[in-house]
Amino acid sequence: MDKVAILGGGPSAFYVASRLLSRVPADRNRNLAVHMFDRLWSPHGLVRYGVAPDHPEVKNCTHKFDELAKDARFRYFGNVQVGPASGRPIPHVVRLPFDEIPRSYTHLVLAPGCPIPTTHPALPLSSRVIPALDLVHWYTQHPTHPHAPPLDGARHVTIIGQGNVALDVARMLLTSPDVLATYDVPLSVLEGLRTSAVEHVSIVGRRGPLQAAFTTKEARELMTISDASMALLDPVLLVPSADTKLSRQQTRVLDLLRKGSTTKSGTTKKTWSLDFFRAPTGIQESESRLRLSLAHTTLDAGLRAVATGATSALETDLVVTALGQQLDPSTPFYDDATRRIPVNASGNVLHPSGRPFKNVYASGWAAMGARGVLASTMINAYNVADNLAASLLGSDSLSPNFEEIMEKDVDPAPPALVREELEKGNVMSYEDWKIIDAEEVRKGAEMGKERERMGWEGAKAFLAASKTRA
């Protein structure tokens, strides 16, 4: 039989599975099985644990994933860590050695995403210097249980980076908890935000407004917060040179920045600023505050940020680094040079010799790097799935010069350890997830909000009680 293992449970993994099963109808391959393994107990990856709570429309893709799960050829196994993992551990996860996968499956798709935050060499992490991913995982109740940020003593927060995640974090810190209370924000997080002392958020970037990575939509949302205003920008920053050809996106950003926030500067207690052409070079911590050293920068001919020689210091209480994410170095086939899984144009994983592994693929951020939006992730996943489907249907064009590690004759069942832990209630199926999903939505409706999330222990206890009642 043909048996596909997908490692990862985020959008890329689900898009691959959905496309694959649509390309290989049951009447063409009745012996196909697709098993998805995710180290997180609940599915959907960044859609559940990365999307800002006040962006519920981004989560609509889960309806497509729910439809996929109705296909009898598909099975989801949550709370299963395949192989080792770096970063903050998940204490309750079931650990499955990676060697079990090639022995138990004919095809493999690696789609673990990029779960490791990129840090800044001049900003060593501490209780007051934290990655944005930790803050995001706090307000989405990620299974790694990051500590709550020290917001009750932070009047001034500095975010390093000017991408969409930086603006998401700023918006969460500046928006009234009463507004956020209707969204998918856990009660414990709302309590933390209600005791927050944050009055100003500085969003620092080493280049200018034309190079900022945030989208117009994200900037506009920040500018329309009712009880926070944007500090006025130096108008000189918003005048491009005469020989600069602006893209449509750049024109819209400049127009938006010229207008400023809808709530005018000086009229609100909470404020925020976009600090362009600044790059951190060091930090000093005292008992009371942080002193952030900044190099002033300009752009060279290649639009790279270079120091001008001028410097300044910024007094702040909390530094959040929003510099992107990386693939976990312990991921199978990880390449040190590129910090990705090396693939060819078809998505086949490459051996160090350059030859492709037969029936081994990588999809999404693990192969592309942590960039793009859901649409670009979907396009990449569909390309991988189409090539995998061609392999299953015997119409692929892979050169005979390949490396082979996957089995050809396998048992249809999942690995024995997964079956055993599933019976004990330590592995989450998609059917059980939908029970939890419905209960989270029900509890949220009682509170007048989108949902109220469960943690692993609460979900496990609820399922056990539900099955006892049944």
The mean of the pLDDT values for the chain is 95
What are 237-272's pLDDT values in tens digits?
Answer: 999 988 889 999 999 999 999 999 999 888 999 999
Distance (Å, rounded) from C-alpha 423 to C-alpha 416? 11
pLDDT of residue 241: 87
What are 103-122's pLDDT values in tens digits?
Answer: 999 999 999 999 999 999 99
Question: Amino acid identity, residue 305?
Answer: A
Structural domain containing residue 335: 2-114+326-428
CATH code at 52? 3.40.50.720
Percentage above 70 pLDDT, the chain: 98
- Asked whether residue 285 falls in the same domain as residue 358, the answer is no
DSSP 323: -
What are 65-101's pLDDT values in tens digits?
Answer: 999 999 999 999 999 999 998 888 999 999 999 999 9
Distance (Å, rounded) from C-alpha 363 to C-alpha 343? 9
Spatial contact of 399 and 356, defined as CB atoms under 8 Å apart: yes
- Asked whether residue 43 falls in the same domain as residue 133, the answer is no
Dihedral angle of Cα 430, 10, 113, 158, to the nearest 10 degrees: -120
Q: How confident is the model at residue 393 (pLDDT cuts 50, 70, 90)?
A: confident
Which of 265, 289, 323 terminates a domain? The answer is 323
- Asked whether residue 340 falls in the same domain as residue 423, the answer is yes
pLDDT at 398 over 70: no
pLDDT at 3 over 90: yes
Provide the pairing of β-strand 32-38 with 2-7.
parallel
Average pLDDT over residues 346-366: 95
CA-CA-CA-CA torsion sign (41, 44, 50, 51): negative
Which of 268, 303, 323 terminates a domain? The answer is 323
What are 399-449's pLDDT values in tens digits?
Answer: 667 889 999 899 999 999 999 999 999 999 999 999 999 999 999 999 999
What is the pTM for the complete model shown?
Answer: 0.95
pLDDT of residue 27: 66
pLDDT of residue 399: 62
- Asked whether residue 102 falls in the same domain as residue 85, the answer is yes
Which of 276, 306, 323 terminates a domain? The answer is 323
pLDDT of residue 26: 72
What are 216-243's pLDDT values in tens digits?
Answer: 999 999 999 999 999 999 999 999 988 8
**Which pair of structure tokens corresponds to residue 235?**
């108008």
Average pLDDT over residues 276-291: 96
C-alpha 444, offset from chain centre: 24
Q: Assess if residue 435 is contained within a domain.
A: no
Number of domains, the chain: 2
Q: How confident is the model at residue 470 (pLDDT cuts 50, 70, 90)?
A: low
Distance (Å, rounded) from C-alpha 266 to C-alpha 276? 21
- Asked whether residue 332 falls in the same domain as residue 313, the answer is no
